[in-house]
């Protein structure tokens, strides 16, 4: 039965060019969307950029250009990742310039205001521009932001506040019962602990002076702009039509069987606490699931532009290939705990799994069909006891992949594909097709044994293409093409995966 899914990434600040950490979330979300499309479901996947942050203004000032010029230029680099990483997103929203966004933000503000959830007060606090968040002194680590390691600035001004505290009990119930599902369970516990400690109302506006005039104005109050996180979170509903296209919004937000947010752990509070409360206030349906991924690190440190350890994913895709980069992120990145990125790990994994395993199996299979059967694929044998393990790997893969991705375990999902390659190569070594071919020539043995082996292997390669499609769509398509017969014959195979070498440490 076909279902409908709406899947989103977080939208990153565009205060610098993308790094490999951004690519992880994009690839994971793309795989989830592709897999569900592959199953025949209706899917909308969405990403974009968060343009209205103060750090973007600071980036523009440093270059001596306007904020709009700055964010348009940098946002283009993020949009270009679609080609570099072979992504299949259906929508890309830029919050500063997309005509759908401001009307939706204004409507959301009005809805929360009508619920009586805004009030004004003067406030003094410790503000991290990198997080765009006020921190309490007890949350700081040695006086520094726990996310960015910077010393927050002291801010004192009059802002609009949102009555977050009003929704404390409701949020606890929604999250504890998994009506709002947070994965993995450790992040669910983290959110519940934060809420149960007591929620404080949070500021949802900034003075125009401190925002340098950049951002969406508070409706009816030109002295204030809407807090960037309130504005940015709204992208999940403004892009599908909230405030500008009710039919599309109803179809994709209200009408989806699952609304899924894929985010990094550093922005969990915004998505699992602030955002649901805003939607409750506005009377809008909540997301169903929030999947929280860990970070990629470099030498154990968080990847960031300021740390000078931010590899550009476009450069990596150019050097090693898009599918090699995608594969490493799916095969090596842990579901729990941060994962260190190195070129050595990427190259080793691509060579082991793609070149030596999957690519080798396809190449040797098709080469043997050409050598021993002139390119004609023999009919499959109904019974083939020697292929029991191989057939089990193939038949189990569909369910294993679906189960793993439902649990957001990408590593386990691709292991099901690798298992087919392992069993296929093991089957070749066990059955020794070259020996069977020799027996046909020298002992005039029946061709049925070799036919059964070759047919089994071609079937395996075709299954590999099918199961690999959500993960490595380009390589899957090449495998399928090479396994396709034209006028009853396959063509000479070409190498699917080049062996990689490290181009720089």
Distance CA 158, CA 164 (A): 18
Is residue 17 annotated as a catalytic residue, yes or no? no
Is residue 128 annotated as a catalytic residue, yes or no? yes
Residue with tokens 């075709």: 462
Is residue 483 annotated as a catalytic residue, yes or no? no
Order across the sheet with 289-293: list the strands: 91-94, 42-49, 4-9, 258-264, 289-293, 181-183
Burial of 169 (0-12, 13-18, 19+ CB in 10 A): exposed
Establish whether the linkage from the previous residue to 184 is cis, with ω within 30° of 0.
yes
17, 41, 148, 265: the catalytic one is 148
19, 94, 101, 261: the catalytic one is 19
Query: Residue 300 — left, alpha, or beta (φ > 0 → left; ψ -120 to 50 → alpha)?
Result: left
41, 302, 412, 466: the catalytic one is 302
- Could you tell me the two tokens for 79? 């949009």
112, 145, 461, 483: the catalytic one is 145
Distance CA 276, CA 172 (A): 11
Q: Phi and psi for 144 in degrees, rounded to 5? A: -120, 155
Full DSSP string of 390-421: HHHHHHHHHHHHHHHHHTT-HHHHHHHHHHHH
How many helices (DSSP H) and strands (DSSP E) are in the chain? 21, 16
Is residue 19 annotated as a catalytic residue, yes or no? yes
305, 438, 448, 489: the catalytic one is 305
Is residue 145 annotated as a catalytic residue, yes or no? yes
Distance CA 339, CA 332 (A): 8
Choose among 8, 5, 108: nearest CA to 48.
8
Is residue 22 annotated as a catalytic residue, yes or no? yes
Angle (CA) 261 263 269, round 5°: 95
473-485 per-residue burial string, b: 16 or more CB within 10 A, e: under 16: bebbebbbebbee
Is residue 112 annotated as a catalytic residue, yes or no? no
112, 131, 461, 483: the catalytic one is 131
Residues 238, 101 contacting (CB under 8 angstroms):
yes
Residue 116 neighbours by CB under 8 Å, 6+ apart: 163
Distance CA 176, CA 54 (A): 35
DSSP H/E element including 273: none
Residue with tokens 């490290």: 502
DSSP H/E element including 258: strand 258-264
Task: State whether residue 489 is helix, strand or coil.
Answer: strand
Distance CA 362, CA 60 (A): 51
Number of Cβ within a 10 Å radius of residue 128 = 21
35, 94, 101, 128: the catalytic one is 128
Task: State whether residue 358 is helix, strand or coil.
Answer: helix
List, by residue number, the catalytic residues: 19, 22, 128, 131, 145, 148, 302, 305
């Amino acid at each position: 039965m076909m279902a409908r899914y709406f899947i989103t990434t977080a939208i990153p600040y565009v205060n610098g060019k993308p790094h490999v950490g951004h690519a992880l979330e994009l690839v994971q979300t793309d795989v989830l969307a592709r897999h569900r499309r592959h199953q025949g479901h209706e899917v909308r996947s969405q990403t974009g950029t968060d343009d209205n942050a103060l750090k973007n203004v600071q980036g523009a000032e440093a270059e001596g250009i306007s904020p709009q010029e700055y964010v348009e230029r940098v946002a283009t680099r993020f949009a270009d990742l679609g080609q570099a990483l072979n992504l299949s997103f259906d929508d890309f929203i830029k919050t500063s310039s997309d005509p759908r966004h401001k009307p939706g933000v204004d409507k959301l503000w009005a809805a929360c205001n009508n619920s009586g959830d805004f009030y004004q007060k003067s406030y003094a606090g410790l503000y991290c521009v990198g997080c765009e968040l006020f921190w309490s002194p007890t949350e700081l680590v040695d006086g520094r932001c726990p996310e960015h390691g910077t010393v927050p600035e002291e801010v004192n001004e009059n802002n609009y506040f949102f009555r977050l505290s009003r929704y404390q009990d409701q949020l606890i119930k929604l999250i504890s019962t998994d009506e709002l599902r947070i994965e993995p369970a450790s992040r669910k516990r983290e959110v519940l602990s934060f809420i149960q400690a007591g929620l404080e109302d949070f500021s949802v506006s900034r003075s125009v002076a401190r925002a340098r005039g950049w951002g969406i104005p508070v409706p009816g109050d030109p002295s204030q702009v809407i807090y960037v996180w309130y504005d940015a979170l709204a992208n999940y509903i403004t892009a599908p039509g909230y405030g500008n296209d009710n039919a599309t919004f109803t179809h994709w937000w209200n009408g989806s069987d699952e609304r899924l947010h894929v985010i990094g752990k550093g922005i969990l509070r915004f998505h699992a606490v602030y955002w649901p409360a805003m939607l409750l206030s506005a009377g809008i349906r909540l997301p169903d699931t929030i999947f929280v991924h860990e970070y990629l690190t470099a030498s154990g440190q968080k990847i960031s532009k300021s740390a000078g350890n931010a590899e550009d994913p476009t450069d990596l895709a150019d050097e090693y290939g898009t599918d090699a980069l995608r594969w490493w992120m799916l095969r090596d990145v842990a579901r729990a705990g941060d994962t260190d990125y190195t070129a050595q790990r990427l190259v080793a994994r691509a060579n082991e799994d793609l070149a030596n395993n999957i690519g080798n199996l396809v190449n040797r299979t098709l080469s043997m069909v050409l050598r021993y059967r002139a390119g004609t694929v023999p009919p499959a044998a109904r019974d083939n006891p020697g292929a029991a393990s191989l057939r089990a790997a193939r038949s189990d893969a569909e369910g294993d992949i679906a189960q793993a991705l439902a649990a957001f375990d990408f590593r386990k999902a691709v292991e099901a594909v690798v298992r087919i390659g392992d069993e296929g190569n093991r089957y070749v070594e066990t059955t020794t097709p070259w020996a069977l071919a020799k027996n046909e020539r020298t002992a005039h043995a029946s061709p049925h044994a070799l036919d059964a082996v070759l047919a089994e292997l071609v079937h395996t390669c075709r299954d590999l293409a099918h199961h690999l499609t959500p993960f490595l769509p380009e390589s899957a398509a090449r495998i399928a093409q090479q396994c396709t017969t034209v006028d009853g014959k396959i063509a000479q195979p070409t190498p699917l995966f080049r062996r990689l070498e490290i181009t720089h440490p």
